[in-house]
Amino acid sequence: MMKEMLEKIGKQAQEEIAALVKSSGDLKAEFEQVRVKYLGKKGELTGVLRQMGKLTPEERPVIGELANEVRADIEKKLADAKAKIEDLKLQQQLKNEVLDVTMPGKDFSAGSLHPLTQVLNEVKDIFIGLGFEVAAGPEVELDYYNFEALNIPKDHPARDTQDTFYVSENVLLRTQTSPVQIRVMEQKKPPIRIIAPGRVYRSDAVDATHSPVFHQIEGLVVDRGVTMADLKGTLETVAKQLYGEDARIRFRPHHFPFTEPSAEVDVSCFACGGKGCRLCKGEGWIEILGAGMVHPQVLRNCDIDPEEYSGFAFGMGLERIVMRRFDIQDIRMFFENDMRFLKQF
């Protein structure tokens, strides 16, 4: 009776182990269940062996030997099945991870400079070639440097047109890069010849031509005997470098609190040569910047004697230059990071 039970246990275990080999997935838990079911302390084989006390002395050695054979056979089949499954897993992994050296490589496109950066670098090169240095200053600025030192006191109407982002009563996001000029004049005595490119902030509604964040390039020259003619000659040279040797500029009277006299500066339309077209709205001229002679009070604020020194200053919008250079109609395209747009440059 016990012999038949042992043979039945061996056969059932063999069938269950064979079924595990044919299945897929992580079978570690299933193999342990089979081992415990047949070989554990409460397993079927152990249950049969506990009945050996009922056997005659002659039967015990025979059944004991058979039980050991069944145990050894189950253990071997479990080990063989595990090894086979591990081998199948390895073969499948090697198949999945095979490297086909004949496949073409992935195309990684090289990046390029943003159009704003391209033109800014070009402008820097032009001014460096004219003997200018590049200066920088904080974007979170004091009211004194952004307004008061530039001859714009707290009650000045020009403040209303700046739409300023205030951090506190006396701290703000700079509305222009002109504060850099004040900081340079405080730290360095003439002769001074700098440009100050950088981000500026104004509370403008976002549309095709306005953004609350944009870039300006301010310029400053202070020395003995500096005149309006020097300003005009410098800007003519820059215009020809930017827009071609045929470019011409004109000055129109204007007013800025920190320059006197002041002017708006136009360049002849580089698309039509001054004849009038869609780009220049039929006028033949395109406004590019504001400029003028540094106001004597601004020099005094920086402890520079206006009786001994004079200077000129100018400021241009980088986005405006780039938009007109590449005929871009919407300023928002510079900040949206659309690769279809950027890849054109």
List pLDDT tens digits, range 183-192.
999 999 999 9
Judgement on whether residues 119 and 172 belong to the same structural domain of the protein: yes
Mean pLDDT on 54-58: 72
* Cut 0.75: pTM above it: no
Say whether pLDDT at 76 is over 60: yes
Residue 104 lies in a domain: no
Mean pLDDT on 40-65: 71
Q: How confident is the model at residue 115 (pLDDT cuts 50, 70, 90)?
A: very high
How far is Cα 295 from Cα 310, in angstroms, rounded to an integer?
9
Query: How many separate domains does the chain show?
Result: 2
Mean pLDDT on 55-80: 75
Say whether pLDDT at 258 is over 90: yes
163 Rama sector, left if φ>0, alpha if ψ -120 to 50, beta otherwise = left
Q: What is the pLDDT of residue 99?
A: 77
Residue 103 lies in a domain: no
Least confident of 16-25, 119-128, 336-345: 16-25
Residue 268 lies in a domain: yes
Q: What is the pLDDT of residue 27?
A: 65
Judgement on whether residues 88 and 199 belong to the same structural domain of the protein: no
Q: How confident is the model at residue 227 (pLDDT cuts 50, 70, 90)?
A: very high
Judgement on whether residues 79 and 220 belong to the same structural domain of the protein: no
Say whether pLDDT at 144 is over 60: yes
Judgement on whether residues 178 and 251 belong to the same structural domain of the protein: yes
Q: What is the pLDDT of residue 1?
A: 66
Residue 186 lies in a domain: yes
Q: What are phi and psi of 311, to 5 degrees?
A: -165, 165
Judgement on whether residues 210 and 337 belong to the same structural domain of the protein: yes
Judgement on whether residues 136 and 89 belong to the same structural domain of the protein: no
Say whether pLDDT at 96 is over 60: yes
Asked which of 28, 63, 96 is the last residue of a domain, the reply is: 96
Judgement on whether residues 254 and 327 belong to the same structural domain of the protein: yes
Mean pLDDT on 218-226: 96
Q: What is the pLDDT of residue 300?
A: 95
Judgement on whether residues 48 and 137 belong to the same structural domain of the protein: no
Q: What percent of the chain has pLDDT over 90?
A: 43
What CATH code is carried by the domain that includes residue 234? 3.30.930.10
Q: How confident is the model at residue 23 (pLDDT cuts 50, 70, 90)?
A: low
Asked which of 64, 96, 128 is the last residue of a domain, the reply is: 96
pLDDT digit string, tens, across residues 155-188: 877 777 668 899 998 999 999 999 999 999 999 9
Judgement on whether residues 92 and 120 belong to the same structural domain of the protein: no
Average pLDDT, the chain: 85
Say whether pLDDT at 26 is over 60: no
Judgement on whether residues 87 and 128 belong to the same structural domain of the protein: no
Domain that holds residue 179: 115-342
Closest CA to 181 of 172, 171, 194, 170: 194
Say whether pLDDT at 304 is over 60: yes
What residue ranges in 29-119 does DSSP mark as E strands? none
- Any residues with CB less than 8 A from the CB of 289 and at least 6 apart, and which? 235, 264, 265, 314, 315, 316, 317
Residue 106 lies in a domain: no
Asked which of 96, 130, 164 is the last residue of a domain, the reply is: 96
Residue 102 lies in a domain: no
Contact 234, 256 (CB under 8 A): no
Q: Is 125 exposed, middle or buried (0-12, 13-18, 19+ CB in 10 A)?
A: exposed
Judgement on whether residues 174 and 203 belong to the same structural domain of the protein: yes
Q: How confident is the model at residue 52 (pLDDT cuts 50, 70, 90)?
A: low
